Structure 1
């Protein structure tokens, strides 16, 4: 299977979204408006912690959680009681490289551990503007190499490894694999970029065609995130910062998840196409009506739970 659309309606706009989807989109808009003020960076980070909080249930963490440090990088292991801790997935949170962390995505990490039957290592990589590119790539590659030889119960070699991440973390998933490959380091067994922000030049057609349905702020707000992260570098000339412009050859199997209502839809589509052209075993699933990183809204949003289960199937299928 190379590409499927999880819908009967491929426009994403030909019918009214469900009440749950509309409530999630309204919640996202509210959260995105909460930034700004006298300290916009601090306000962005505070408000983003509530991105998934459409209900108390969406923030509930289950299973075992261990907070650790990987050579100075804060991380957290999430392990469901039935997970195989020799199978490990590194998760890279979203937040525009300026927000997000172990709290904002902790519930998702615990759900992925259950669905995939593996231990999940969340990485609290350094954030811009205090720590601009390439700091997140450095932290992610460091954490992955450590995870190869260390699990929740101490030193032990991993049997299978995976990388996943959403939004900026989805782009960072791709960049991390490119950096590992270029350095001659081991690559993961497979990867799952979710709603990946991979083109920081914002050249995708869906940046315009989905702008009226995507509740995520676009335009000037996203350009400000790019400036904070790349510090004036050109995205087309910085493949580890804007991985759409990178070399996809030699990367492991990938499953892209993206919503049909996202302005970043074309980022995933084009990365998938580049990966396929480079000989990578790549799949893409485009989910009808779904907003940016809808996975965070399980179990309130049924499609979120379904998408997490689909990722679990993909991981188990490569184990």
Structure 2
């Protein structure tokens, strides 16, 4: 668990830097890249993907696999499900996304379509095996589905699941909702398989 710095006190790229620092610490402890998994939920799901992309850009080894749950992939906040699922997702709203974005991306020169911040725009070539899980009622469902298609387009070994009738942060139902527990168990097995454990 990475206790990354939080915005607005620490805007982008502090959280990405912290995730990379944690990865490099694991390497310094003798862990091999192929035995490290990068996982997260919500903005953590975004941060599960961002460090491997940054490492690829530097020509460095990435973690062996990624599990990204309900990532925020498109900082433009333009996907149609932002409106279509507005009455189904009580966890997120367009207003909350705009607030989060302004707290996180404080540099006025940043373009919201920049692939360094909107992973939906990124070149995914070389990304390690990636599992993606999201709820079909959440505001981010459309962009997460699009990320799943892009993983396939870039020939990334991937597994994509939409959990029916679930909203953002459905993962917090673990231990109380059997369908969530089953999805977590499946993702855990997938991760172990791709990390060679």
In the superposition, the TM-score normalised over structure 1's length comes to: 0.58
What is the aligned residue count? Answer: 192
Aligned partner of 1:270 in structure 2 is: 146
Deviation at 1:256, TM superposition (A): 0.4
Residue from 279, 296, 307 that aligns with 2:155? 279
Q: Secondary structure at the match of 1:310?
A: helix
Residue from 139, 142, 157 that aligns with 2:31? 157
Cα deviation, 1:110-152, whole Å, max 9, x if unaligned, reads: xxxxxxxxxxxx00111111111111111111111211232xx
Aligned partner of 1:212 in structure 2 is: 87
Inter-partner Cα distance in structure 1 for 2:48 and 2:10 = 18
Aligned partner of 2:168 in structure 1 is: 292
Tell me which protein shows more helix as a share of its residues.
2
Residue from 41, 49, 56 that aligns with 1:181? 56
Tell me which protein shows more strand as a share of its residues.
1
Tell whether the 8 Å contact from 1:170 to 1:198 is kept in structure 2 after alignment: no
Q: Secondary structure at the match of 2:175?
A: coil
Deviation at 1:316, TM superposition (A): 2.2
Q: Does 1:307 align with 2:179?
A: no
- Return closer, same or farther for 1:212/1:125 CA change in 2, 3 Å cut-off: same
Deviation at 1:299, TM superposition (A): 0.9
Deviation at 1:317, TM superposition (A): 1.7
Superposed counterparts of 1:29-108, under 5 Å: none
Cα deviation, 1:240-291, whole Å, max 9, x if unaligned, reads: 2221111111101111000111110012111111121112112210110112
Inter-partner Cα distance in structure 1 for 2:188 and 2:46 = 20
What stretches of structure 1 move > 6 A for 4+ residues in a row?
none
Inter-partner Cα distance in structure 2 for 1:298 and 1:269 = 22
Aligned partner of 1:236 in structure 2 is: 113
Tell whether the 8 Å contact from 2:91 to 2:169 is kept in structure 1 after alignment: no
Inter-partner Cα distance in structure 1 for 2:38 and 2:124 = 15
Q: Does 1:140 align with 2:19?
A: yes
Q: Secondary structure at the match of 2:53?
A: helix
Inter-partner Cα distance in structure 2 for 1:157 and 1:149 = 7
Residue from 118, 125, 132 that aligns with 2:4? 125
Tell whether the 8 Å contact from 2:81 to 2:140 is kept in structure 1 after alignment: yes
Inter-partner Cα distance in structure 1 for 2:116 and 2:91 = 24
Inter-partner Cα distance in structure 2 for 1:128 and 1:306 = 33
Tell whether the 8 Å contact from 1:168 to 1:198 is kept in structure 2 after alignment: no
Deviation at 1:221, TM superposition (A): 2.0
Cα deviation, 1:60-113, whole Å, max 9, x if unaligned, reads: xxxxxxxxxxxxxxxxxxxxxxxxxxxxxxxxxxxxxxxxxxxxxxxxxxxxxx
Q: Secondary structure at the match of 1:191?
A: strand
Tell whether the 8 Å contact from 1:295 to 1:307 is kept in structure 2 after alignment: no
Inter-partner Cα distance in structure 1 for 2:92 and 2:124 = 29
Inter-partner Cα distance in structure 2 for 1:263 and 1:178 = 24
Aligned partner of 1:225 in structure 2 is: 100
